């Protein structure tokens, strides 16, 4: 590890992120999204996802995944599940662009977490 990265790595650990997230990204996962991406994601969420996952991701419970617990370091899983669907969730790839799914990811992992 070089001396430029090292102080950031320590700050990252102090901030409570896992060692893996700190080394992989150089900053805590899920904190690096532009505010406008989160806002666009929130709008897409309200239009497409809220009916099942609940307002502001407060899921009604049962079979529907609680999106507030989705791991911020699993972007490819998010894109895969949303694009292709998963069990009772329909696929979204013909309705949403990859860019829009990226905005949704920003909202899900950074939009409603303190
Ligand atoms: C018709 C209801 C419905 C809608 C609409 C819906 N979902 Fe889901 N979603 C589900 C259900 C049910 C699951 C749980 C799937 C399972 O059995 O694991 C799920 C699971 C997920 C998961 C977790 C997948 C995983 O890898 O475990 C993500 C992420 C997700 N939904 C995102 C979205 C997003 C983003 C939208 C809007 C574009 C959306 N969902 C719209 C029903 C829905």
Q: What CATH number is associated with residue 56?
A: 1.10.760.10
Q: Rounded distance, CA 47 to CA 29, Å? A: 26
Same domain, 13 and 45: no
Q: Which whole number is the average pLDDT over 46-50?
A: 97
Phi, psi dihedrals of residue 55, rounded to the nearest 5°: -60, 130
Atom 25 of ligand 1, nearest CA residue: 81
Start-end of H helices in 15-68: 19-25, 35-48, 50-53
User: What's the number of domains the chain is made of?
Assistant: 2
106 Cα–ligand 1 center, Å: 15
Structure token digits, residue 107: 């909202």
Determine which helix (DSSP H) or strand (DSSP E) holds 109, and give its type and residue range. helix 98-110
Quote the pLDDT of residue 39: 97
Same domain, 51 and 65: yes
For a substitution probing ligand 1, which of 41, 61, 78, 86 has the most ligand atoms within 8 Å of its CB?
86
Confidence label for 57 from pLDDT (cuts 50, 70 and 90)? very high
Summarize pLDDT for 75-86 with one digit per residue, the tens.
999 999 999 999
| 92 touches ligand 1 (CB under 6 Å) | yes
Q: Rounded distance, CA 39 to CA 14, Å? A: 28
pTM above 0.85, yes or no: no
């Amino acid at each position: 590890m070089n001396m430029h990265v090292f102080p950031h790595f320590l700050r990252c650990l102090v901030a409570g992120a896992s060692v893996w997230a700190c080394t992989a990204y150089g900053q805590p996962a899920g904190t690096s999204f532009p505010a406008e991406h989160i806002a666009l994601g929130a709008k897409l969420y309200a239009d497409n996802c809220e009916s099942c996952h609940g307002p502001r991701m407060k899921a009604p419970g049962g079979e529907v995944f609680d999106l507030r617990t989705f791991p911020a370091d699993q972007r490819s899983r998010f894109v895969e599940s949303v694009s292709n669907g998963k069990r009772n969730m329909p696929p979204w790839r013909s309705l949403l662009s990859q860019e829009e799914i990226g905005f949704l990811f920003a909202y899900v992992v950074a939009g409603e977490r303190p």
